Amino acid sequence: MSAPINNHLFVGNRANFAAQLPHKSIAVFTANEPMPRNGDEFYPFRQQSDFFYLTGINEENAFLVIAPDYPDESMREILFIEPYDEVKVTWQGEMLDDKKATELSGIKTVKGSDTFWMTLNDLAFSGYGETIFLNSYEYPKYECDTETIQQRFVKQVKERYPMHNYGRTAPILNALRMVKSEDEIAVMQQACDITAKAFRRCLHTVKPGMYEYEVQAEIEYIFKKNNATGHAYAPIIAGGKNACCLHYSKNHSLLNDGDLLLFDIGCELNNYASDLSRTIPINGKFTQRQADCYNAVLRVMKEITKLYRPGGTINEINETTHRLMEQEMIKLGLFTAEDVKKQDPEKPLERKYLMHGMSHHIGLDVHDSIDKFKPFEPGMILSCEPGIYIREEGIGIRIENDLLITEGEPINLFEGLPIEIEEIEAAMKK
């Protein structure tokens, strides 16, 4: 069973964040809310990542205020939690109290969430809260029509304090979250270890005639048995041609003899993600064509792994991968060198068979806070995931590790997990 993260992580996170706020500023955050499922049911609660990063609290109806310049030191960090409700306790179990909230977060001043607005008034009108920093999710590719509680909260604050100046917490937190502390790295290594166990189980259980959802069940068994919260993202268990759909998640097809099976899976542990891709032969033996395609991807992966060093960039990895994969695709007979010379520069031939980026940051979100132009620093954790997708042959291959940037060689958080063809086939024979 995984233990809660030591609160010195969150104490340090708040200190690092507060140090970057301008003079006479305050920052306010709201926790996530339960998301309705259907009828009177809700989806399992998952805390908003920035709120967890600063507090370690996994509760709804909570707020955080950080006011570094406020004269009363006891009011420079305030956590607001839901007041005790006897009826709620009867139906849903024990609630978080002030003592436990302080133990988890390291925040000494804990108040009831019903006092939040009154307290914020005092801070905002004190002369030490001239600028209010508000939190929002600013991932460049994020699109969603559903208004979040964070978006509604921004509107509420601005309506109450229309004459204040406003700032964004995202640029500060995104930069901080990209570099992981030793505590975060330890949790993410545990998450990767659990995901690795799940994949190893599948090496011993996958066979023709199973369904993709049966393989998913094997994975979820290992996740739950090792106290992971669940999936860090919708799992991809894609047999045959399904692997050519990059975000395939139906996981309901029959696994056929002679096809490949692509996994893109990762458990979440203490809100931190892992992210693994592997491709295996369903019957335990690669055909020659499958092996040639697999080894082409693996060769490129080994080359680009060398780029995961301080000073490297995601753009450099993407550009290098596409260049190397183009040469591999020529060897595989997908097109010729002469075809490349004649291709439309705006529509490279290799993009038909490799359409996605090769790297992203991983942390509290599987696609974590990002600045794809920022050079790598020790402590960053990123995916390395080249692939090839040949729809007309029903071959989809992706191989992915999570790499920790160090002062020297990157550390593979999935070190030792079968990746060579010989290793995969040997494991599947047992």
CA distance to 56, 293, 297, 397, 408, per residue, from 332 (Å): 50, 7, 11, 14, 34
Task: Check whether 320 has a pLDDT greater than 70.
Answer: yes
Residue 254 in tokens? 């029959």
Mean of pLDDT over the chain: 96
pLDDT per position as a tens digit, 94-108: 999 999 999 999 999
What pLDDT is stored for residue 8 in this prediction?
96
2 burial via Cβ count (<10 Å: 0-12, 13-18, 19+): middle
pLDDT exceeds cutoff 70 at 2: no
Tokens read off for 231 = 């999936």
Residue type, 125: F
- Please give the distance of CA 98 from its chain centroid, rounded to a whole number: 30
pLDDT of 140: 77
Instruction: Select the more confidently predicted residue: 143 or 254.
Output: 254
Q: What would the two tokens of residue 118 be?
A: 């009154």
pLDDT at residue 218, as a whole number: 98
User: In 206-308, which residue ranges form alpha helices assigned H by DSSP?
Assistant: 212-225, 288-305
- pLDDT above 90 for 371: no
Spatial CA neighbour of 389 closest among 237, 287, 259, 246: 246
Start-end of H helices in 137-205 = 149-160, 170-178, 182-205
Q: Per-residue pLDDT for 1 more than 70?
A: no
Q: 140 or 258: which carries more pLDDT confidence? A: 258
Asked if 422 and 295 count as a contact pair (C-beta separation under 8 A), the reply is: no
Q: What does the angle CA 368 – CA 220 – CA 235 come to, to the nearest 5 degrees?
A: 45
Give dist(CA 84, CA 384) in Å, integer: 46
φ, ψ dihedrals at 64, nearest 5°: -135, 135
User: Hey, what are 68's tokens?
Assistant: 């570094």
pLDDT exceeds 70 at position 69: yes
Contact 48, 150 (CB under 8 A): yes
| Residue 144: predicted pLDDT | 84
The pLDDT value given to residue 223: 98
C-alpha–C-alpha distance, residues 95 and 134, integer Å: 27
Closest CA to 299 of 324, 269, 268, 275: 324
How confident is residue 3, by pLDDT bands cut at 50, 70 and 90? confident
Strand ranges inside 274-335, DSSP E: 276-281
Span 72-77, mean pLDDT? 96
Q: Give the domains, in start order, of the chain with CATH numbers.
A: 8-177 (3.40.350.10), 182-429 (3.90.230.10)
Q: Say what percent of the chain tops pLDDT 70.
A: 100
Amino acid making up residue 61: N
Residue-wise pLDDT for 158-196, tens only, equals 999 999 999 999 999 999 999 999 999 999 999 999 999
Span 226-236, average pLDDT: 96
Distances (CA, A) of 379 to 49, 150, 185, 305: 18, 28, 8, 16
Kindly state the DSSP code that residue 259 receives in the 8-state scheme. -
% of the chain at pLDDT higher than 90: 91
Q: Model-level pTM?
A: 0.96
Helix axes 182-205, 8-18, angle to 10 degrees: 120
Rounded mean pLDDT, 298-302: 98
Bigger pLDDT: 256 vs 92 = 256
Rounded-to-integer distance, Cα 239 and Cα 283, Å: 12
Encoding tokens for residue 186?
Answer: 């330890």
How confident is residue 424, by pLDDT bands cut at 50, 70 and 90?
very high
Determine the Cα–Cα distance for residues 173 and 10; give it in Å rounded to an integer: 13
